[in-house]
C-alpha cells in the first residue's frame, strides 16, 4: 500500500500568557491507502492538535505550524490556498468525526437541514451540471442511503428531528454518515466513542469498521483507550507530550512493545482488573520542555543522552519504528 498521508517533522506552537507551548515536536506520521491508524496517548499529548494540523486549521495567531510538511496524495497541504483547502480537502477528501456530536450540531436546525447544507457545499459543487431537481433527488437518495448504512431504522424519520431529540449513539451514527457522505479518502475520528456507554461504543466501532472496509477509506483514529485502538486499528502510533514514541502494526505492538513508555501504558491497561497502577513522575512542562526525549525523567531505562538529545527515528523490525536510545528487547521476560 502506498502512503496517502505523510506528516514529516511537524512542530506546532501556541503562544500563551505563560510562554510558548511546544505542543508537537518534530512528529512523523504516515497513513497508507485503506489503513486504519490508531493515534493513542494521554490527554494533552497532542493528538487533537495533530488532527487540526492535518486539516491546517490550527487557531491563529496564537497557534502556528512552526516546522514540517504534510503531504496528502503527494501535495503539501500547508502550501495550498485556503480556497482550495475548503473546496477539495476539508469536508471532502478529508473529513472529521468529532468527539462530541451534540456540540458539533447546531441546536436551532433539524438534522436534515444540516446534512443537506453540508451535501450542497461538498457534493453539488463537485458534480456535473444537471437540472436543479436532479441534484436534489440524487443528494436526498445518497443521504438516506448513508443513514441506512449506519443502521438508523427508518432514516427518513430522523431528518426532521433536532439534535437534542436523539441519543448519543444516534447522533454519532449521523456524524459517521456525514463524514462518509462525500466519499472521502481519509477520515479523522477524534475519540468518537468517548461519551457513549460500552454497549453503544461497541456498536459504533463495528459500524465504522465495516464502512471503512466497504468504502476503502483510510482512518486516523484518535483515542486514549488502547483497548478501543486494538479493536479497530491496523497500526498504532503512540504520542507522549507532543512527541511520537513508537509506531507498529497492532499485533506486533501488543506482543512486543519496544519503547519504555509504551510498556508502561500497557501495564496500566493490564492492571485495571487487579489494581490501579500509574506511571511514576509527571508529564514535563511543554512551555520549557526538555531538549531530549520528553519521557526521560520518568523512564527507568534513561541514560544521560536521553535528556540531552531527541532520539532519532529508527526501524527495529518490519514497519516497527521507535524513538529511543535504549529500547526494550524483543522478549518481554528478558526485561522483567
Domain ranges of the chain: 3-104+185-240
> What is the pLDDT at residue 322?
95
Which pLDDT score is estimated for 272? 52
Query: In this predicted structure, what is the pLDDT of residue 136?
Result: 80
In the prediction, which pLDDT does 333 show? 45
* Angle formed by the axes of helices 132-149 and 111-119, nearest 10°: 120
HSE at residue 333, side-chain half, CA atoms within 13 A, is 0
Is 66 exposed, middle or buried (CB count within 10 Å of its CB: 0-12, 13-18, 19+)? Answer: middle
Q: What is the reported pLDDT for 336?
A: 47
User: What was the pLDDT predicted at 138?
Assistant: 85
Can you tell me the distance from the alpha carbon of 212 to that of 204, in angstroms, rounded to the nearest whole number?
12
- What is the structure's pLDDT at 131? 47
Whole-number pLDDT of residue 61 = 86
Residue entry with cell 526501524: 315
The three cell numbers of residue 298 are 520518568
- What pTM does this model have? 0.90
CATH topology of domain 3-104+185-240: Rossmann fold (3.40.50)
Burial of 172 per CB tally in 10 Å (0-12, 13-18, 19+): buried
Radius of gyration of the chain from Cα atoms?
A: 21
Q: 263 in the Ramachandran plot: left (φ > 0), alpha (ψ -120 to 50) or beta?
A: alpha
Residues in the chain: 336
Cell of 25: 515536536
For residue 138, the surrounding DSSP H or E stretch is helix 132-149
What pLDDT shows up at residue 125?
Answer: 55
pLDDT at 10: 97
pLDDT mean for each 10 residues of the chain (336 residues):
90 94 95 95 93 93 94 96 93 91 89 90 59 71 91 90 91 91 93 82 86 91 91 96 96 94 84 67 92 93 92 92 88 49
Amino acid at each position: 500500500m502506498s502512503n496517502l498521508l505523510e506528516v514529516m517533522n511537524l512542530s506546532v506552537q501556541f503562544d500563551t500568557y505563560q510562554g510558548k507551548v511546544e505542543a508537537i515536536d518534530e512528529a512523523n506520521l504516515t497513513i497508507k491507502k485503506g489503513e486504519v491508524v490508531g493515534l493513542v496517548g494521554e490527554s494533552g499529548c497532542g493528538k487533537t492538535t495533530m488532527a487540526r494540523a492535518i486539516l491546517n486549521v490550527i487557531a491563529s495567531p496564537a497557534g502556528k505550524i512552526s516546522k514540517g510538511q504534510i503531504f496528502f496524495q503527494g501535495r503539501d497541504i500547508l502550501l495550498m490556498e485556503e480556497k482550495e483547502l475548503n473546496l477539495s480537502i476539508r469536508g471532502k477528501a478529508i473529513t472529521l468525526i468529532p468527539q462530541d456530536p451534540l456540540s458539533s450540531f447546531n441546536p436551532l436546525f433539524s438534522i436534515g437541514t444540516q446534512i443537506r447544507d453540508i451535501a450542497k457545499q461538498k457534493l453539488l459543487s463537485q458534480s456535473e451540471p444537471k437540472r436543479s431537481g436532479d441534484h436534489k433527488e440524487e443528494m436526498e437518495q445518497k443521504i438516506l442511503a448513508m443513514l441506512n448504512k449506519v443502521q438508523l431504522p427508518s432514516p427518513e424519520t430522523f431528518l426532521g428531528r433536532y439534535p437534542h431529540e436523539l441519543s448519543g449513539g444516534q447522533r454519532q451514527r449521523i456524524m459517521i454518515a456525514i463524514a462518509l457522505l462525500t466519499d472521502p479518502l481519509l477520515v479523522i475520528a477524534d475519540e468518537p466513542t468517548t461519551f457513549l456507554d460500552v454497549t453503544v461504543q461497541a456498536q459504533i466501532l463495528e459500524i465504522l469498521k465495516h464502512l471503512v472496509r466497504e468504502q476503502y477509506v483510510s482512518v486516523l483514529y484518535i483515542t486514549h483507550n488502547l483497548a478501543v485502538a486494538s479493536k479497530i486499528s491496523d497500526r498504532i502510533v503512540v504520542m507522549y507530550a507532543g512527541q511520537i514514541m513508537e509506531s507498529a502494526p497492532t499485533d506486533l505492538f501488543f506482543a512486543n512493545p519496544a519503547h519504555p513508555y509504551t510498556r508502561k501504558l500497557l501495564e496500566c491497561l493490564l492492571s485495571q482488573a487487579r489494581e490501579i497502577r500509574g506511571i511514576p513522575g509527571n508529564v514535563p512542562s511543554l512551555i520549557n520542555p526538555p531538549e531530549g526525549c520528553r519521557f526521560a525523567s520518568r523512564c527507568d531505562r534513561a541514560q544521560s543522552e536521553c535528556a540531552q538529545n531527541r532520539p532519532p527515528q529508527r526501524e527495529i523490525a518490519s514497519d516497527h519504528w521507535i524513538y529511543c536510545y535504549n529500547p526494550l528487547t524483543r522478549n518481554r521476560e528478558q526485561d522483567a
